[in-house]
């Protein structure tokens, strides 16, 4: 079958293309911007890429068009597809019907940490010999690829609440029919498609409704936004985790930065069943929580706490999630996705706990759809408190004045709209033992590479 994917260079759609190729289909696709690393990953796997949406790419017609959720009415290929009645489907529906339907699906959802937790879970299952398939919204450094079919009945999927397609406004994750579901956290996000938190909670309850009675739902304790979803109705086994005494799954820090911690599993009587330690490269309470959730999910398919902790101790990480991209001349530069104020806050707090009094410089581009709209501007000021200095990048698509936010922050804060000016300001701050965190969910106009070159040429 010839499958053509519209919007193929998005993380999800590109990963979908890899799975379709691995299933033996001929796969091609197009996007407005064909660029690395996804274009490189797709090209290396023999997938034909077309830049732009000239309808000629659909003649002769493929057997099926898979439509990415970035596509909308008015797009030349979408209009041609509809006018010529070509068979089409959303990416999440294709995934559910063609990959997941015969699998034990372990789905990871939530506002933050989906990519990292999915990668941790896949690592645990893989190191334990289960050889799972996976589709992850990033590239786990432990695997070097964002998706694979695997050779077992288990499949790990990052379960996103964003909508499925222009013709299907349900969240992607309702197509996955998870057996084991993690809900890491729940906050307001995606203001471009959701009016408020309640609208997102409704979608999450649709997700809860799809988990079978013998399935498992794994949630943090004392998270009121998630509790409200569960109280609407839950028909599956529910496991709460955290560090409260009532939790049957708990973590306890050994190092305050989260680089060492223990996982405890108790029975209903409060007696300890298992206990094991994690020593890893990650930092931050958020990552400790992610690791615990992944261990609980792995336990549902027969993996002991000790095996899970052993695998977590070997976990390398995910590209663009506090990935060290430069360490020389006394300067360390990190690349981080950071799409939401809470993610920025927990990431910087984790780094602060790790580096002590060393200077932290945060370079932030508020680039996600919600951040560009200015919905989170009131909470952004408090998200950077763990840094010593913050430089904001006001790109041309940001719909609000970051300068106003910058003046309200207690630490030194500056807003710039020119990348070269931003590089010069960063270089001036790059003193010995400086930790520079670049926080953006996009390409940032090549800022990462330009900064490294500037520091190297000092």
| Helix or strand (DSSP H, E) at 118 | helix 114-127
51 DSSP β-pair partners: 31
Hey, what are 9's tokens?
């260079």
- DSSP string covering 364-408: E---SHHHHTTTTHHHHHHHTTTSSEEEEE--TT--S-HHHHHTT
Note down pLDDT in tens along the chain; length 458 residues: 999 999 999 889 999 999 999 999 999 999 998 777 778 889 889 999 999 999 999 999 999 999 999 999 999 999 999 999 999 999 999 999 999 999 999 999 998 889 999 999 999 999 999 999 999 988 899 999 899 999 999 999 999 998 999 999 999 999 999 999 999 999 877 677 688 899 999 999 999 999 999 999 999 998 999 999 999 999 999 999 998 888 999 999 999 999 999 999 999 888 889 999 999 999 889 899 999 999 999 999 999 999 999 999 999 988 878 889 999 988 999 998 876 788 888 889 889 988 999 999 999 988 655 454 444 556 677 789 899 999 988 876 666 677 777 667 888 888 888 889 999 999 988 887 899 999 887 778 788 999 999 888 87
* Whole-number Å distance between alpha carbons of 167 and 71: 10
CB 259 within 8 A of CB 279: yes
Instruction: Supply the pLDDT for residue 400.
Output: 63
CB within 8 A of 297, min separation 6: which ones? 106, 108, 121, 180, 182, 216, 218
Instruction: Supply the pLDDT for residue 442.
Output: 72
254 DSSP β-pair partners: none
Instruction: Supply the pLDDT for residue 399.
Output: 63
Q: Give the Å distances, CA to CA, from 298 to 118, 235, 331.
A: 11, 20, 38
405 three-state secondary structure: helix
CB 130 within 8 A of CB 301: yes
CA 69 from centroid of its chain's CA atoms: 17
CB 284 within 8 A of CB 347: yes
Instruction: Supply the pLDDT for residue 406.
Output: 66
Q: Which domains does the chain have, with CATH numbers?
A: 2-92 (3.40.50.720), 102-313 (3.40.1190.10), 323-456 (3.90.190.20)
CB neighbour class for 410 (10 Å; exposed up to 12, middle 13-18, buried from 19): exposed
Hey, what are 102's tokens?
């015969």
CB within 8 A of 43, min separation 6: which ones? 49
Torsion of CA 287, 291, 292, 293, to 10 degrees: 100
Instruction: Supply the pLDDT for residue 138.
Output: 84
* Cα Dmax for the chain: 66
């Amino acid at each position: 079958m010839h499958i053509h994917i519209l919007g193929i260079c998005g993380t999800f759609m590109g990963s979908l293309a890899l799975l379709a190729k691995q299933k033996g289909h001929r796969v091609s696709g197009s996007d407005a911007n064909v660029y690395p690393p996804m274009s490189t990953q797709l090209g290396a796997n023999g997938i034909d890429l077309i830049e732009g949406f000239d309808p000629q790419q659909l003649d002769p017609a493929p057997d099926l068009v898979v439509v990415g959720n970035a596509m909308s009415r008015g797009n030349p290929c979408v209009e041609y597809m509809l006018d010529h009645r070509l068979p089409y489907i959303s990416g999440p529906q294709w995934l559910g019907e063609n990959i997941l339907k015969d699998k034990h699906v372990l789905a990871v959802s939530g506002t933050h940490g989906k990519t990292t937790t999915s990668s941790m879970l896949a690592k645990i299952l893989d190191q334990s010999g289960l050889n799972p398939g996976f589709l992850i919204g990033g590239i786990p450094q432990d695997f070097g690829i964002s998706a694979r079919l695997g050779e077992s009945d288990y499949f790990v999927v990052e379960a996103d609440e964003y909508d499925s397609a222009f013709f299907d406004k349900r969240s992607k994750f309702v197509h996955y029919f998870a057996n084991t579901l993690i809900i890491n956290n729940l906050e307001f996000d995606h203001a471009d498609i959701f009016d408020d938190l309640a609208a997102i909670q409704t979608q999450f309850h649709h997700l809860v409704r799809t988990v079978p009675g013998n399935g498992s739902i794994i949630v943090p304790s004392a998270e009121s936004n998630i509790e409200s979803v569960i109280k609407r109705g839950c028909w599956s086994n529910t496991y709460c985790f955290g560090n409260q005494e009532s939790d049957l799954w708990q973590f306890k820090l050994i190092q305050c930065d989260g680089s060492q911690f223990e996982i405890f599993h108790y029975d209903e009587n409060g007696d300890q069943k298992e206990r094991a330690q994690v020593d890893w490269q990650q930092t931050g309470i958020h990552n400790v929580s992610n690791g615990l959730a992944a261990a609980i999910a792995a336990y549902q398919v027969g993996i002991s706490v000790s095996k899970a902790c052993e695998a977590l101790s070997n976990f390398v990480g995910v590209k663009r999630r506090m990935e060290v991209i430069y360490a020389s001349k006394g300067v360390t530069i990190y690349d981080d996705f950071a799409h939401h104020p809470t993610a920025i806050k927990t990431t910087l707090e984790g780094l602060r706990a790790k580096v002590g009094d060393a200077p932290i410089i945060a370079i932030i581009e508020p680039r996600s759809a919600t951040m560009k709209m200015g919905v989170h501007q009131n909470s952004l000021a408090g998200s950077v408190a763990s840094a010593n200095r913050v430089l904001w990048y006001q790109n041309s698509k940001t719909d609000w004045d970051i300068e106003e936010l910058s003046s309200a922050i207690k630490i030194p804060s500056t807003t710039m709209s020119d990348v070269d000016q931003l590089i010069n300001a960063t270089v001036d701050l790059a003193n010995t033992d400086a930790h520079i965190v670049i926080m953006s969910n996009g390409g940032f106009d090549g800022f990462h590479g330009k900064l490294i070159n500037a520091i190297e040429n000092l």
